[in-house]
């Protein structure tokens, strides 16, 4: 019955005449199994059609509010085209962070019930995210940035002062409640400025350096949404440094230096563009000069090459854009260091100078990773799911050859866990299968222990020679601490 229903629906979909295009249809049946997929495919083949079912899952019918099965498929005119497509699809899938994320139980996006562009992170995905946050927390400590926390929603009054209400409204989630307009934040700056304004500031207080790992919500076109890289809910490693113009060079030098150390960790190449004063700019001409000289001096001091985008800055200040290239030769705009002469004026942010006069500070907006979600998608795809040891959800998996070594293996796992290593033992299945699974599940280090290892108190690491337990312990801990290769 299930298959008949599907066949008739499928026939109608394919009669539309289009081929080689992914499409979906909803059908009112019980959930489909992989067995149903192949039955359906072979039934259709008998009738002279060539389809590949890519996926099926529960979905809510918008009109009837009833649960239906949504079937995704692609169709072809002949078997050869179908085979070629299937092969390419399988290869592509292996490098797609969406597939890797679901396959490894790291995260998923659930369009039905929840909504599009709103990824859910599972425990292992959260380990990756927290690893990135820890990294930036270390950067913040070096930069002297202090973390704050600001709420996700506010009155629209705030967005009216910042100008987002007027210029960014179509990308913000807003609603009316009890006669007032409210909005979910799409950026953090206006809230950070409230923290700055809370107490009067003097020149001695500057630089004020705020940082927040903040989830913001932006209503992108649903057709543009993609896994973790294009979402509605994104978490920025957001920073606002509030400084006097003389501090621009010093602060920006430190920020760029910190950013490039982060890129080095992931093997990214980078290029830097400096965008200068556009024709329709606001603010004092002298301030623009000081700011642009500050940025140029910072880049020169660091000895980094950069290109000049004359006139491409924002109307409210010059900026530095940093693009990184991953190992798949894809360029990503990761970091922007934006100077801002406009918001301090808008939000009436001031400080008292040495002479007791009120001055307006300059704001530096920047994020190093940009969006944690998008950054995760980049590093997941650049090595088909294999992450560096320090970031891998499972850092060490110990496989005893037989039951006889289980106690030794468990002892090793317990010891490593005690030292903060994400370690586990797997005993189910043949050794060959367990090794393959470990590879497939992107475990960073796989170790095998047999009688020989137990007797010698040693450990045999896949792809390396056997080492003593002490030696192994020291090496893996050092590598995790240094964020280096094992
Ligand atoms: Zn900002």
- For residue 57, the model assigns a pLDDT of 75
Q: Are residues 76 and 222 in the same domain?
A: no
Out of 189, 277, 374, 405, the active site residue is: 189
Q: Are residues 368 and 415 in the same domain?
A: no
Q: Are residues 284 and 346 in the same domain?
A: yes
- For residue 377, the model assigns a pLDDT of 95
Does residue 330 lie within any of the structural domains?
yes
Q: Read off the pLDDT of each residue in 251-273 and give the average, rounded to a whole number.
A: 95
319 catalytic residue (yes or no): yes
Q: Are residues 427 and 288 in the same domain?
A: no
- For residue 223, the model assigns a pLDDT of 74
Does residue 109 lie within any of the structural domains?
no
Structural domain span for residue 46: 2-94
Residues 192-219 as b/e (b if ≥16 CB within 10 A, e otherwise) read bbebbeeeebeeeebbbbbbbbbbbbbe
Which residues neighbour 215 within 8 Å (Cβ) at sequence distance 6 or greater? Answer: 152, 233, 234, 235
Does residue 163 lie within any of the structural domains?
no
Last residue of a domain, one of 382, 411, 434: 382
- Taking only the tens place, the pLDDT of each residue in 431-479 is 999 999 999 999 999 999 999 999 999 999 998 989 999 999 999 999 9
Q: Are residues 344 and 475 in the same domain?
A: no
Q: Are residues 226 and 359 in the same domain?
A: yes
CB 144 within 8 A of CB 209: yes
Ligand 1: centre distance to CA 240 (Å): 6
Ligand 1: centre distance to CA 302 (Å): 24
Ligand 1: centre distance to CA 35 (Å): 51
Tokens of 112: 């039905």
Q: Whole-angstrom Cα distance, residue 165 to residue 184?
A: 11
% helix, strand, coil for the chain, step of 5: 40, 30, 30
Q: Are residues 19 and 46 in the same domain?
A: yes
Does the pLDDT at position 301 exceed 90? yes
Out of 240, 277, 434, 442, the active site residue is: 240
Residue 146: phi, psi to the nearest 5? -110, 135
Tokens of 250: 């010093």
185 catalytic residue (yes or no): no
Q: Are residues 332 and 410 in the same domain?
A: no
Ligand 1: centre distance to CA 131 (Å): 23
Does residue 299 lie within any of the structural domains?
yes
Q: Whole-angstrom Cα distance, residue 123 to residue 379?
A: 18
Which of 312, 304, 245 minimizes the C-alpha distance to 276?
Answer: 312
Q: Read off the pLDDT of each residue in 409-419 and give the average, rounded to a whole number.
A: 97
Sheet containing strand 458-461, strands side by side: 423-425, 396-400, 445-449, 458-461, 466-468
What is the band of 55 on the pLDDT scale with cuts at 50, 70, 90? confident
Ligand 1: centre distance to CA 364 (Å): 8
- For residue 442, the model assigns a pLDDT of 96
Out of 218, 277, 374, 442, the active site residue is: 218
- For residue 14, the model assigns a pLDDT of 67
Out of 238, 321, 326, 340, the active site residue is: 238
Out of 69, 236, 292, 395, the active site residue is: 236
365 catalytic residue (yes or no): yes
The residues pairing with 237 across neighbouring beta strands, listed in sequence order, are: 213
240 catalytic residue (yes or no): yes
- Taking only the tens place, the pLDDT of each residue in 94-105 is 889 999 999 999
Ligand 1: centre distance to CA 319 (Å): 12
Ligand 1: centre distance to CA 190 (Å): 8
- Which residue matches tokens 């006139």? 311
Q: Are residues 86 and 195 in the same domain?
A: no
Treating both helix axes as pointing N-terminal to C-terminal, what angle do 406-418 and 469-482 enclose, rounded to 10 degrees? Answer: 40
Ligand 1: centre distance to CA 369 (Å): 14
Does residue 157 lie within any of the structural domains?
no
Tokens of 332: 């990503």
Q: Read off the pLDDT of each residue in 222-230 and give the average, rounded to a whole number.
A: 86
Q: Using DSSP bridges, classify how beta strands 396-400 and 180-184 pair: parallel, antiparallel or unpaired.
A: unpaired
Q: Read off the pLDDT of each residue in 7-32 and give the average, rounded to a whole number.
A: 71
Ligand 1: centre distance to CA 366 (Å): 7
**What ranges in 398-467 are assigned the alpha helix state H?**
406-418, 431-440, 451-456
- Report DSSP letters for 263-323, one per residue: HHHTT-EEEEEEE---TT--S-HHHHHHHHHHHHHHHHHHT--EEEETT-SBTTB-EEEEE
Does residue 133 lie within any of the structural domains?
yes
Q: How many domains does the chain have?
A: 3
Q: How many CB atoms lie within 10 A of CB 246?
A: 12
- Which residue matches tokens 């913001």? 216
Instruction: Report percent pLDDT > 70 for the chain.
Output: 98
Last residue of a domain, one of 382, 407, 441: 382
Ligand 1: centre distance to CA 130 (Å): 22
Which residues neighbour 442 within 8 Å (Cβ) at sequence distance 6 or greater? Answer: 100, 104, 385, 386, 387, 392, 393, 394
Tokens of 372: 């944690």
The CATH number linked to 454 is 3.40.50.800
Q: Are residues 307 and 447 in the same domain?
A: no
Q: Are residues 356 and 378 in the same domain?
A: yes
Out of 319, 374, 397, 422, the active site residue is: 319
Ligand 1: centre distance to CA 303 (Å): 27
218 catalytic residue (yes or no): yes
- Taking only the tens place, the pLDDT of each residue in 302-345 is 999 999 999 999 989 999 999 999 888 889 999 999 999 999 99
164 catalytic residue (yes or no): no
The CATH number linked to 60 is 3.30.980
Last residue of a domain, one of 360, 382, 404: 382
Out of 124, 185, 260, 365, the active site residue is: 365
Omega prior to 39 cis, within 30 of 0: no
237 catalytic residue (yes or no): no
Q: Are residues 401 and 377 in the same domain?
A: no
CB 361 within 8 A of CB 248: no
Does residue 404 lie within any of the structural domains?
yes
The CATH number linked to 314 is 3.30.930.10
Does residue 171 lie within any of the structural domains?
no
Ligand 1: centre distance to CA 469 (Å): 49
Q: Share the mean pLDDT of the chain.
A: 92
Distances from the Cα of 400 to the Cα of 217, 418, 422, 459, angstroms: 47, 20, 17, 10
**Which of 43-52, 138-147, 349-358, 420-429 bottoms out in mean pLDDT, i.e. has the lowest?**
43-52
**Which of 48-62, 215-229, 348-362, 388-402 bottoms out in mean pLDDT, i.e. has the lowest?**
48-62
Q: Read off the pLDDT of each residue in 287-313 and give the average, rounded to a whole number.
A: 94
CB 195 within 8 A of CB 208: no
């Amino acid at each position: 019955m299930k298959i008949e229903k599907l066949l008739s629906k499928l026939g109608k979909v394919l009669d539309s005449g289009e081929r080689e295009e992914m499409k979906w249809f909803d059908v009112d049946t019980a959930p489909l199994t992989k067995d149903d997929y192949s039955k359906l495919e072979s039934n259709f083949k008998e009738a002279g059609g060539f389809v590949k079912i890519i996926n099926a899952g529960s979905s809510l019918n918008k009109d009837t509010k009833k649960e239906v099965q949504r079937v995704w498929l692609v169709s072809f005119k002949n078997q050869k085209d179908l085979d070629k497509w299937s092969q390419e699809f399988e290869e592509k899938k292996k490098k797609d962070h969406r597939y890797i994320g679901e396959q490894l139980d790291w995260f998923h996006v659930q369009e039905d019930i929840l909504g599009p562009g709103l990824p859910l992170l599972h425990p292992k995905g959260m380990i990756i995210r927290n690893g990135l946050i820890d990294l930036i927390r270390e950067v913040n400590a070096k930069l002297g940035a202090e973390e704050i926390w600001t709420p996700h929603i506010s009155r629209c009054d705030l967005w009216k002062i910042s100008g987002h209400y007027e210029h960014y409204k179509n990308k913000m989630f807003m609603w009316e409640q009890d006669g007032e307009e409210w909005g979910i934040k799409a950026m953090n700056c206006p809230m950070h400025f409230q923290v700055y304004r809370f107490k009067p500031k003097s020149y001695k207080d500057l630089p004020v350096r705020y940082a927040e790992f903040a989830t913001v919500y932006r209503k992108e076109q649903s057709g543009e949404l993609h896994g973790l890289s294009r979402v509605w809910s994104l978490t920025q490693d957001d920073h606002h440094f509030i400084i006097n113009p003389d501090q621009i060079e010093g602060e920006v030098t430190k920020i760029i230096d910190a950013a490039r150390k982060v890129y080095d960790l992931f093997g990214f190449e980078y290029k830097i563009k400096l965008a200068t004063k556009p024709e329709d700019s606001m603010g004092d001409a002298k301030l623009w000069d000081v700011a642009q000289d500050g940025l140029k001096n910072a880049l020169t001091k660091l000895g980094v090459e950069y290109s000049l985008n004359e006139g491409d800055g924002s109307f409210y200040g010059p900026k530095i854009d940093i693009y990184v290239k991953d190992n798949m030769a894809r360029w990503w705009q990761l970091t922007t260091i934006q100077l801002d002469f406009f918001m301090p004026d808008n939000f009436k942010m001031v400080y008292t100078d040495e002479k007791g006069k009120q001055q307006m500070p300059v704001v530096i907006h920047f994020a190093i990773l940009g969006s944690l979600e998008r950054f995760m998608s980049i590093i997941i795809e650049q090595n088909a799911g294999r992450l560096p040891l320090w970031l891998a959800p499972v850092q060490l998996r110990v496989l005893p050859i037989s039951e006889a070594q289980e106690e030794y293996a468990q002892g090793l796992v317990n010891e490593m866990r005690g030292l903060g290593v994400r370690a586990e033992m797997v005993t189910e299945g043949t050794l060959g299968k367990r090794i393959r699974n470990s590879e497939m599940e992107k475990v960073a280090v796989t170790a095998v222990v047999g009688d020989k290892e137990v007797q010698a108190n040693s450990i045999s690491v896949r792809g390396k020679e056997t080492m003593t337990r002490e030696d192994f312990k020291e090496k893996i801990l050092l590598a995790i601490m240094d964020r280096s290769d094992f």
